[in-house]
Structure 1
Amino acid sequence: MPDPRDTRDLESFAMALADELPGRWRSEYHRHTVYDDQFSLAEDVWDMNLVSAAVAQYVLEHDAVLTRDDGARLYVIGRPRQDEEYLVAAMAPADVVPEAFRGVREPDGIVVPDDPFRAADDITAHLLPRYDKAFAQVQHNAQSLAPQAAVPSDGADRVEMTWADDGGLVARPASEDAAAVLRDSGFVYDERQQTYVLSGDDTAAQGRSARAAGARLSALGIGAVIRNAPSKPALDTTTRAAPTPAKPARTR
């Protein structure tokens, strides 16, 4: 089996990308010495498609975070098994109550070339407009919710999805409306576990189904959260010596 380790100069790419993006950005590069380290930042990745799937399924050697002066953040990693491409995703605003994300669609990440100038153009045209819109909506919601922030949510209007060890996506809806959306999006009810499961046999189809479910839930005013919490890398990832189980990671 070929070794999928990422040997690209991500640090230099991220620094050059930060210089080319509109506004003022700074770049922070992180190298991971153990498998669990990749989840400390990835838990804030605001994506329900390519990037969250890559974090869940692959051992990442390193990543970078670009931060704009207003607090907006971009998460940058090499695209697994594609040496000339990178994945860039928005990161959710920090220190915001979960209720503020209700009804806000995730500004899913994009694939960019290894040329920072072309990558900056793609991000400016295709990611930042969606990110800025979602970022503003969340901030507005957070301000509206400020007087109620001390009241805990009962989770009745949110669906949590969790990556299983076998690559499946497991969801636990709290309402029949949410359950109906999951069924229509390809999730199958597991009576023994009392959960809905989206098979990972076809990851491309799985990503489309998860994204469709998130969009339909959002339209109903139901939040959707994906938790990247695999206990081990997939079979086609880099082999590590006795990795410890990963802590749950969140996306919004």
Structure 2
Amino acid sequence: MHADRHPDELYSFAGILTQHLPGTWTQELRQHTGDDNQQELTADVWDMNHIAEALAQHPPAHDVVLIRNDGLRLFLIDHPRYDDELLIAAMAPAGTPAEAFRGVREPDGIAISTDPEQAAENILTTLLPRYETALAQVQDNAARLSGPSVQPDTVVMTWTESGDLAVATERADVVGILTTHGFVHDGQQTYTASGDDSAHQAQCVRAAGSALGALNIGVTLRHGPMRGAPTTLPLPAPRPAAPNTVRSR
């Protein structure tokens, strides 16, 4: 295992990295001592894969939390084995009931290059799309948990074989929201968010879901016939968590 970078070096890298990411970001450097509760400090790291394993085997001496102006957070640490790589993961939304995470697959983190521009590209194409999709599902679940006892209407978004998300509806208010947030009329009563750009598709789903939720209209994602589950959707059975690293969702 190599020696960790100096905390200021990791913090400086985070500042440069955020210049290549959309939105306005701030960063927080956190340095840990032997008296710190590592499990508590990393409890919001939304990962059940190799970053959870790295945290269990090599508790970091420091980390940097990147915070976007809309509240989205990323967790950045040195790679415990490779000098030319770092590890970055999503952080779960704070103050959200554990029940809202039920059935939502973790948007597991990734290894990134120490070149900020290349790292930002990997984050934009790999981590953020599945992070935003998972976040939209959790927010929808949370809204249902805290909403009125009357069951809301539901809009069903169905994955097609081509990777598009299709919605069939006749409601004018739903149509208005879908088309405002990137869905395209694709048939007599069908509106589609293309799967050609997964990041844009995730943004469309999240924005439309939020607007529909304001009208007490729920959103359900379903698989169409002949399609396997995409990587950003819940799996039939959750994977076991790495011990003593992150909260069970």
User: For this structure pair, what is the TM-score category when the shorter chain's length is used for normalisation?
Assistant: 0.5 to 0.7
Q: How does 1:1-252 map to 2 (within 5 A)?
A: 4-8=2-6, 9-34=9-34, 36-147=36-147, 218-220=234-236, 226=241, 228-229=243-244, 249-250=246-247, 252=249
- Deviation of residue 148 (structure 1)? 8.3
Superposed displacement of residue 225, structure 1: 7.3
Cα deviation code 1:89-146 (max 9, x no counterpart): 0001111111111111110000100011111111001100000111111011100111
Structure 2 length normalisation: TM-score?
0.60
Q: Which amino acid aligns with 1:30?
A: R
Q: TM-score, normalised by structure 1?
A: 0.59
> Structure 2: how far apart are the matches of 1:40 and 1:20?
30
Give the whole-Å Cα distance in 2 for the aligned partners of 1:87 and 1:38.
17
Which residue identity does 2:63 align to in structure 1?
D
Question: Which contiguous aligned blocks of 4+ residues in structure 1 show a shift greater than 4 angstroms?
Answer: 222-225
Report the secondary structure of 1:226's partner residue: coil
TM-superposed CA distance for 1:17, in Å, is: 1.2
Measured in 1, the distance between the counterparts of 2:38 and 2:91 equals: 14
Q: Measure, in 1, the Cα distance between the counterparts of 2:35 and 2:118.
A: 31
Q: Which amino acid aligns with 2:5?
A: T
Amino acid at match of 2:3: R
| 1:191 alignment counterpart | none
Closer/same/farther in 2, CA of residues 251 and 23 from structure 1, 3 Å limit:
farther
After TM superposition, give the deviation of residue 80 of structure 1 in Å: 0.4
Equivalents in 2 of 1:219, 1:78: separation in Å? 29
Q: How far 1:35 moved relative to its partner? A: 6.2
The runs of 5 or more residues in structure 2 that have no matched partner are: 150-230
The Cα of 1:41 is off from its aligned counterpart by 2.9
Contact 1:14/1:27 (CA < 8 Å) preserved in 2? yes
Structure whose alpha-carbon radius of gyration is higher: 2
User: Separation in 1 of the partners of 2:242 and 2:35?
Assistant: 16
1:19–1:42: structure 2 CA closer, same or farther, 3 Å change rule? same
User: What's the secondary structure of 1:5's corresponding residue?
Assistant: coil
Q: State the identity %.
A: 48
Query: Quick one: which amino acid aligns to residue 96 of structure 1?
Result: T
Unaligned runs of 5+ in 1: 150-214, 230-247
User: Residue 205 of structure 1 aligns with which residue?
Assistant: none
RMSD: 2.5
Does the 8 A contact of 1:43 with 1:227 survive in 2?
no
Count matched residues: 165
Name the aligned partner's letter for residue 241 of structure 2. Answer: I
Cα shift at 1:226: 3.2
Q: 3-state SS of the aligned residue for 1:52?
A: helix
* TM superposition shift of 1:37: 4.5
- Looking at structure 2, the residues matched to 41 and 15 of structure 1 have their Cα atoms a distance apart, in angstroms, of 21
Question: 1: CA distance between counterparts of 2:143 and 2:93?
Answer: 13
The one-letter code sitting in structure 1 at the alignment partner of 2:105 is: R
Structure-2 change in CA distance of 1:225 and 1:75 (3 Å):
farther
Residues 90 and 131, structure 2, Cα contact 8 Å, conserved in 1: yes
